[in-house]
Structure 1
């Protein structure tokens, strides 16, 4: 199989502001290594030739050659004469080791996801007992079991959005749903409005579909730039808008009713389909002064086309790969027809388990809110005590806190934290072109004792990069 090749211009965009005041080859090696361990440069990707990258970055070829040499020595590059250099990951505890190879005491905060709900195991056992009833007639299911689609439709209806089962398509998680929608709705060159920062895997799905992204700013304290969002619709005439209006990942912001109405009317005027990601929407903790009852986004009287995506991954357990799309019947039919080139259907046993869990979902979510409130409050307390210069927003729900560091050191901080067994996603993982170096996502989904240990390691890393002083990237030798 031919390796994916990363052009010099694309790599320059990923690097962002890579210089950090040290030797150029060390700074460049540090940033490339972070892109590899974060997955932004996938394993097997062929990097640009030395001469090509040197010209693009306005550095000497010797600098790039030295950079590649450092990465090869540390196990991050494999080079063959005439074949170029391909990204690799070394088998060491603070990179991205193979499954089961992690250091025993490593704390991985890259996932903002809840642990498995206790109701899951009994539901799986009950589902297994039902399996013989479905074994004869159900195998490759590209639509979804009828009683599961009915249960999902009934939940939407109870939440205020009347829905029929044939408006539901069951998918292999929310990311599969987003990728399928990107494949069907987006053609190469189409513009897609997307939040900045945003859920990185959704962004990647649109890029792979050939979309031209139109970013609109979202902040933890101010939410969406409403004027910029409206202008993005009017100026670019986008085919699609991907938005997370409830407990946005990673900022935790939520759109007001007035902002939603304005957004939907702007989309309707341009004929833009609004893809609403509601995977975290029910995880409210304390919406002060606001009715916390979740109401799915609907077109109402705006005339907009709205497609809703949900899953049980964030509320019940990410290990059950079941999500869904709510859309009009004609789009559901198009999506079903397009699935065969991507997958052959959603697993039957997992669908049966989720159907068993649907009547218990309100109970599960209520328990999640209690867990999240406890961990959210403790994280805020810990961060305020250890990092008095950081800006720590108070989130009313969701799965993480989008912390302002006050300095563009997120990559340096996360690289240094790895040396003490703390793995986190740097701020630029949620943006593009090296943006969001001043931010760090801190999940609130882990047990309190784990979060306490994580903050201690994060504090040590903060001191190591200089804290409020001028930061220094860790050298390659400290990461081998």
Structure 2
């Protein structure tokens, strides 16, 4: 293993001897050098005693700096082996300002968006190297790059649904996928059935299309097939939007018997099923193996959509649609009035990330479990009267309040520096006021701090005038 001497580290850091507190300045200097690549990862650092002598400070000062670097994930140590530089798991790094507060300086507990995984940087580098090969063409491919469609199709096949690349349309995120499908299949006045609660942006797209929205209630226990089938039949639903894998916001996972029953009910009612699989790769505990809804489809009425946003990173803005080859071509033609095609570079990045899918799933599971456990522990300690079911996957907790109204509580919490998503965002006509959706996609330290602020907001009201909610990302 490579190593650095105390003299080399002192020269690289080059600190002002008068800087205070010196241990923190030293830790920040070493961290910055690691982040800039001037000190490589997996390089052995000098012993604390040697570095203290070289810097002419106490050993306690260097020990404190090393402790802070270990806490932040930039230093690994083993007794008898010394310490060496490292990079933190990006999903658990507590000192990243982008993880703690948004532009309004509030903890963003209204947005269920994980940060980028460690594989992203390497995938981006490789994608840039791939890019020149695509520069000879016009850059527009309404169906999506073949390299990415091949990987998406292969993943569906591996999950138990034989899929060809020509059945895939690459979109600019899952929201775009919902918009394309409803734009092609739904007209003004058509009944569209949605879960209640559900993903709010799906409701928004249906409303934009002038659809008549038909809710069907679900809970932590999930879906009742007879109620879904009855609502489908009685409403003559043209399309049903469902999220069977760690449903947003309840976290429910649909079992295979229910998947088969709902698909059969759609067949009898001549209803299309739009299946949102955004969270499908993020089981956090051991769960029964469930085939995708498309595995139960015998007459091409299941349209599946997926996204890179939760498994990898929302900033990539890449999603996809799986359907028949004929409908895929029709959707690609239909999108010409929207965006023509998705960006080439981002598609290449996601193609590379598919090659590291299991690596990223393991990283996500580790980070989300830690944050989920911190959220659950914090709620049980500070707000024990609130009730919830711990989800076995996904990234959100659906919490039933104890007589409080969610919207006023969210307003008060903003005055304590935390942005919340009240239950009515996820329902229709002002329902679900007794619920909050709390994501666990931020680091455990941030989640724990947010819970203490929520408790203070509930008990004492707002400390300051809360800033207005951001309607753009308020319901991700």
Q: TM class by shorter-chain length?
A: 0.7 to 0.9
Residues 284-328 of structure 1, C-alpha deviations (whole Å, 9 max, x = no match): 11145x23xx53222536546101100111100011111100000
Paired position in structure 1 for 2:131:
131
Change (3 A) 1:145 1:357: same
Residue of structure 2 equivalent to 1:258: 257
Match of residue 339 from structure 1? 335
Measure, in 1, the Cα distance between the counterparts of 2:110 and 2:436.
11
Which whole-Å CA distance do the structure 2 matches of 1:165 and 1:280 have between them?
22
Is residue 2:442 matched to residue 1:455?
no
CA contact (8 A) 1:173 1:313 kept: yes
How big is the shift at 1:141? 2.2
CA distances 1:362-401 after superposition (whole Å, capped 9, x unpaired): 1101211111111111211110111111102111111100
Structure 2 partner of 1:268: 267
* Structure 2 CA distance for aligned equivalents of residues 351 and 138 of structure 1: 15
Q: Which structure has the greater CA radius of gyration?
A: 2
Shift of the 151–138 alpha-carbon distance from structure 1 to 2, 3 Å rule, reads farther
The normalised TM-score by structure 2 is 0.74
Corresponding position: 1:401 with 2:397: yes
| 2:383 is the counterpart of 1:384 | no
Q: Displaced runs of 4+ in structure 1, greater than 2 A?
A: 100-104, 299-304, 474-480
Runs of 5+ unmatched residues, structure 1: 1-99, 466-473
Say if 2:406 and 2:435, in contact at 8 Å, map to a contact too.
Answer: yes
**1:317 partner SS:** helix
- 1:227 Cα deviation after fit: 2.4
- Give yes or no for contact 2:194–2:216 (8 Å, CA) kept in 1: yes
**What secondary structure is seen at the aligned counterpart in 2 of 1:402?**
strand
Alignment of 1:330-369 (within 5 A): 330-369=326-365
Who is 2:291 aligned against?
295
| CA 1:368–1:479: 2 relative to 1, 3 Å | closer
Say if 1:479 and 1:136 are closer, same or farther in 2 by CA, change over 3 A: closer
Alignment-derived partner of residue 62 in structure 1:
none
CA shift in 2, pair 1:284/1:276, >3 Å? same
TM-score in terms of structure 1 length: 0.74
- Where 1:219 maps in the other structure, the secondary structure is coil
Distance in 2, Cα, partners of 1:101 & 1:156: 35
Unaligned runs of 5+ in 2: 1-100, 469-476
Corresponding position of 2:460: 464
1:75-119 CA-to-partner distances (Å, cap 9, x unmatched) read: xxxxxxxxxxxxxxxxxxxxxxxxx98344x21112112110111
Q: Could you tell me how far apart the structure 1 residues matched to 2:199 and 2:297 are?
A: 29
Q: Distance in 1 between matches of 2:465 and 2:369?
A: 40
Residue in structure 1 matched with residue 18 of structure 2 by the alignment = none
CA distance in 1, matches of 2:454, 2:388: 15
| 2:229–2:265 CA contact under 8 A, matched in 1 | yes
Separation of aligned partners in 2, 1:479 and 1:279: 30
- Counterparts of 2:231 and 2:455, CA distance in 1: 39
- Per-residue deviation, residues 248-301 of structure 1 (Å, max 9, x unmatched): 00000011111111111110011111110001011111145x23xx53222536
**1:183-198 → structure 2 map (5 Å cutoff):** 183-198=183-198
Deviation at 1:478, TM superposition (A): 6.8
Q: Distance in 2 between matches of 1:215 and 1:478?
A: 32
2:307 and 2:320 in contact (8 A); partners too: yes
Please give the residue correspondences for 1:399-438 in structure 2 after superposition, counting only pairs within 5 Å.
Answer: 399-438=395-434
Question: Does structure 1 retain, via aligned residues, the 8 Å contact 2:407–2:422?
Answer: yes
Whether the aligned pair in 1 keeps the contact of 2:117 and 2:363 (CA below 8 Å) is: no
Deviations 1:155-188 (A, max 9, x none): 1111110000000000001110001111001011
CA distance in 2 between partners of 1:143 and 1:450 (Å): 40
Quote the residue 2:307 is aligned against. 311
Taking a change above 3 Å as real, the CA distance of residues 162 and 132 of structure 1, as seen in their structure-2 partners, is same
Match of 2:67 in 1: none
1:384 and 1:201 mapped to 2: Cα distance?
Answer: 31
Residue in structure 2 matched with residue 75 of structure 1 by the alignment: none
Distance 1:321 1:128 in 2: 17
